[in-house]
Amino acid sequence: MESLFLKTDKISDLANADSLAFGIFMHFVEHMDYENKADVLLVDIAEKFDVSLTTISNRVKMLEEMEFVKVIPSGRSFIYFVNPDIVIAHKSEMRYVKEKCHEVRYLKERLLSDEKRVKEDAENILDGIFATNIGEDVEKVKISRVRYEQCYQDVLQLCKYLGGEYVKVFKQILGGVNE
């Protein structure tokens, strides 16, 4: 299956830090479906890399801690999902882009709400009504703005990379949201 690698720098760092963990991660990617679910058995991976099952289990735990994969218990076995923020299945691109566009829209709405609350607090202070948490609200606005702007730029860059129809979806969902 074709995959789109979104965080190549993070994957490169993994390859440089731990070649076995990188190999296991790539094995998951090679065996994932359109929902990023990897249909693998750790026993098979241990055999492939000629290492113990314990070694493979430890590396999978490390991959989970580093947020490369999500491990979900299922009866007496596990289900493995590759993090879609790092790699997505080719046919899942549009769904992923739409989800990210809606996330940007949500962050923008939250930022506007935070800004409105700070403005109201500032007006209350001018009117002589005491607001105890305006400093905290101002900090929240700063954090919200940075998070929103980073997410917006990441999604815009991804859509431009993917081209045509993805840029149209970006504009359709977000319109003039960054103004």
pLDDT per residue as tens digits for the range 159-168: 776 667 777 7
Domain membership of residue 179 (yes or no) is no
Distance of CA 62 to the CA centre of its chain: 18
Beta bridge partners, 89, equal 3
Domain finish residue from 44, 70, 85: 85
User: Among residues 39, 55, 85, which one ends one of the domains?
Assistant: 85
Tell whether 49 and 117 lie within a shared domain.
Answer: no
Per DSSP, 117 falls in state H
CATH number of the domain encompassing residue 16: 1.10.10.10
Same-domain pairing of 97 and 164: yes
Q: Which residue stretches of the chain are H helix?
A: 8-17, 19-30, 42-49, 53-65, 93-126, 134-162, 164-174
3: β partners: 89
Q: Tell me which residue range forms the domain holding 162.
A: 91-174
- Whether this model's pTM surpasses 0.75: no
Spatial separation of the C-alpha atoms in residues 137 and 12, rounded to whole Å: 38
Number of domains, the chain: 2
Determine the pLDDT at residue 87: 83
d(CA 119, CA 172): 30
Token pair, residue 163, equals: 């081209």
What is the chain's length?
Answer: 179
Between 120 and 83, the higher pLDDT residue: 83
Q: Do 166 and 104 fall into the same domain?
A: yes
Mean pLDDT over all residues of the chain? 80
